[in-house]
Amino acid sequence: MSNWKRICATRDVPMLGARMVASEDHGRIALFRNGADAFFALRDKCPHKGGPLSQGIVHGATVTCPLHSWKIQLEDGQVVPPDVGCVKRYPVKVEHGDVFIDL
C-alpha cells in the first residue's frame, strides 16, 4: 500500500543538491535532485559512520558522504565498491511541480 506525502515544490530542492525532511515515523530523510533533474530519497544517514547524506555532494547518480567520502547510489541506496553497505531508499514521484515521497 502506498502512502504518498507531498514534501515540497521541485524548485525548493536545488539542482545537484538536497533537502532534509524530518519524519516522525522514519527519522531524517534526504531528498536529492541530480543534474538530470531527477529526484531521489534516502535515509539521511551514511551506513559507515552515520554522516548526514543531505549535506553530501551530489554528482551523477550518486551522493558522497561529507564525513568520509563514501559514495552511495541514489537510485537504490547501495554503497559504491570497494565499500559495502546500503541505505534505505524511498520511492519518489513528481507531479505538477510537486515532489512526493512514498512513506
Which tens digit of pLDDT belongs to each residue from 2-49? 799 999 999 999 999 999 999 888 899 999 999 999 999 999 999 999
Domains of the chain with CATH codes: 4-102 (2.102.10.10)
Instruction: Report the 3 state secondary structure along 50-67.
Output: CCCHHHCEEECCEEECCC
Whole-number mean pLDDT of the chain? 96
Task: Specify the residue for cell string 502506498.
Answer: 2
Q: Kindly report each contact of residues 21-26 with a partner whose C-beta sits within 8 Å and lies 24 or more positions away, as own/partner.
A: 21/101, 23/103, 25/103, 26/90, 26/103
Rounded Cα distance, 29 and 85, in Å: 17
Taking the model in full, what pTM does it have?
Answer: 0.94
Task: Specify the residue for cell string 537504490.
Answer: 76
